[in-house]
A and B are shown apart, each in its own frame.
Chain A
């Protein structure tokens, strides 16, 4: 079975500070990994995905994530937070044939002026 762990429910950073949102997954086979962002009263929007190949993945809005197989992690980072980054962020994993996406519980990012 696959699972995703996003520790904590809320992260607060100052504008211009580093953003680090953690995601760990559990899988017995090579995973496909995704980060989605949800702005208030909207649906989820794909930020980036890892399927195969380069382990450092760049996404939209300056975000990137690095797949580390040895640590079973796919942490999301952004060098400098902007007020518009305030949202809820979901990590998701898909593994195996005919597998469906399994989402983490989500992390709310707040950005202080």
Chain B
């Protein structure tokens, strides 16, 4: 049972570089999410995809883009990385984008931007 798989687990970038964080789930879930976790701030939603073919902004979307490639995969792209984007990024999925659906999380990507 892989659940939600994120790659890479660690990455160091220089300011201005671009990269894509990958996420895949094998639970046949319809909804997928990207969060960032910063010390003392909990998790903040960057983007989400309620179902295949749709994406929407969350609380902190600036500087990021997403692609829902298919039902399984949801990627997060940093076009021009900034030090303020140093964080731990989590992908999550849920069966449906409704209030009482628990979300299942990957183990995170730890991203440092110098």
**Which chain A residues have a beta carbon within 8 Å of chain B's beta carbons?**
4, 9, 32, 34, 36, 41-46, 49, 51, 90, 94-101, 103-106
Question: Interface of B with A (CB < 8 Å)?
Answer: 4, 33, 40-45, 48, 50, 58, 90, 92, 97, 99-100, 102-108
Which residues of A lie under 8 Å from residue B106 when comparing CB positions?
43
**Which residue from chain A places its CB closest to the CB of B48 in the assembled complex?**
A100
Residues A101 and B42 in contact in the complex (CB < 8 Å), given A32-B99, A95-B99, A96-B99: no
B107:A42 contact, CB within 8 angstroms:
yes
How many angstroms from the CA of A51 to the CA of B48 in the assembled complex?
22
Q: Which residues of A contact B33 (CB under 8 A)?
A: 100
Residues of A within 8 A of B43 (CB): 44, 90, 103
For chains A and B in complex, what number of residue pairs have CB atoms within 8 angstroms?
54
List, sorted by A's number, 30 A–B pairs whose CB atoms are closer than 8 Å: A4-B42, A9-B40, A32-B100, A34-B102, A41-B107, A41-B108, A42-B107, A42-B108, A43-B4, A43-B90, A43-B92, A43-B107, A43-B108, A44-B43, A44-B92, A44-B105, A46-B102, A46-B103, A46-B104, A51-B99, A51-B100, A90-B42, A94-B100, A98-B97, A100-B33, A100-B58, A101-B45, A103-B44, A105-B42, A106-B42
